[in-house]
Amino acid sequence: MQIGEIAEKAGTSVRTVRYYMEEGFIKAADRSPGGFYLFTPETAETVFYIQKLKNAGLALKEIKSIYEARRNGQTGEEASSMVIGHLERQKALVTQKIADYQRLHTEIEKAIEIASQCRECSTQPTWKNCKDCKVLKGMKKFPLPLQAIL
């Protein structure tokens, strides 16, 4: 398969396939008489899965580390241990991001609840007026989205 066929089958661009070649994710199996790179059909699958991992939030650097760990392992045990190590680190990062998003979600809900009480307000929304309003007065901590606008 030529590079354009790989890109089409994997659902990406020729430029991306070339980039993956430059970065060492994939290698051409051969060259055609006209000098075109030729790839095995499995290369399209590799590109497809790299794209899926990237879309799932993994950085190319991490994806490359996982692929290199698999390639560089002398035995299945060694390769799997290295891959598991990389994946465990990614899992920890994802877990942290989920917790951060949950906290942000809660903060946004609180901000919506408070801002909804301002619908009936006829006072000009300035920093001083809002800080002194009956809705916000006495609050020790404002939700993060409100901190940004007060």
pLDDT tens digits along 19-39 = 999 998 899 999 999 999 999
Q: Quick check: 39 and 3 in contact, CB under 8 A?
A: yes
Both tokens of 45, joined, read 């699958």
Mean of pLDDT over the chain: 88
Cβ–Cβ < 8 Å for 100, 57 = no
d(CA 48, CA 59): 15
Q: Identify the pLDDT of residue 4.
A: 95
pLDDT the model gives residue 135:
81
Whole-angstrom distance between the N-terminal and C-terminal Cα of the chain?
59
Give the model's pLDDT for residue 134. Answer: 82
Q: What is the pLDDT of residue 121?
A: 85
d(CA 17, CA 4) in angstroms, rounded, equals 9
pTM of the model: 0.63
* Reported confidence tier of residue 2, pLDDT bands at 50, 70, 90: very high
Residue 148 pLDDT > 80: no
Q: Annotate 10-71 with DSSP letters as a single string.
A: HTS-HHHHHHHHHTTS---SEE-TTS-EE--HHHHHHHHHHHHHHHTT--HHHHHHHHHHHH
What pLDDT sits at residue 145?
A: 81
- Give the domains, in start order, of the chain with CATH numbers: 1-56 (1.10.1660.10)
CA 144 to chain centre: 23
Q: Supply the pLDDT for residue 109.
A: 94
CB 47 within 8 A of CB 6: yes
> What average pLDDT does the segment 78-84 reach?
85
